[in-house]
Structure 1
Amino acid sequence: RSSTKALLAKLDREVFVFDLVEPLAETPSVEGYAITRVDETTLEVDLPRGSALNRLFAGLDRAGVQVASMRNKSNRLEELFVRLTGKAA
């Protein structure tokens, strides 16, 4: 398990998908985070490694955004494999 964790530490960023409680008319802005509005109730957030989710959630809360659920956009081990080999599995 520790070797998996060490491998995943090589990823420099992670993309999370946020499903929202209420539809949004525009993309919220939270300083230090790249946020993309996929549709009215879905956001993608590109999170640099080492970034705290707490600041992101606090910023979304200040913007009036309520998150219903979140998940990784892609499998992290698969993403690492693609980056290391340059080939999709």
Structure 2
Amino acid sequence: DAYVEVMETAMWEQGKNIGDVNVIAETLSASGLPTEDILAKAQSDGVKKALIDETAAAVERGIFGLPTMFIGDEMFFGKERLIQINDMLAG
């Protein structure tokens, strides 16, 4: 998903504060994504409910931060785990 890639790059590689709506707007605009549409949808009741539901499910599964990935029931936390995940998937 283009949005996720753009925002993760902004946060993890560029050190931007993606908790700031102005930073989000600037980042989206610079990426060429439909900024106004995305910001409007983010304020919709459906998206807000989905965020609450997904956060509750994440907490229930034991997620405490990002990035967190699962292979089966095994949890991997942190970007540095990507090599370990790749090795596991390669078999």
The answer, yes or no, to whether TM exceeds 0.5 is no
Alignment TM-score, normalising by the size of structure 2: 0.30
Q: Tell me: higher relative CO, structure 1 or 2? Use CA pairs within 8 A at least 6 residues apart.
A: 1
**Which has the greater radius of gyration?**
2
> More strand by proportion, 1 or 2?
1
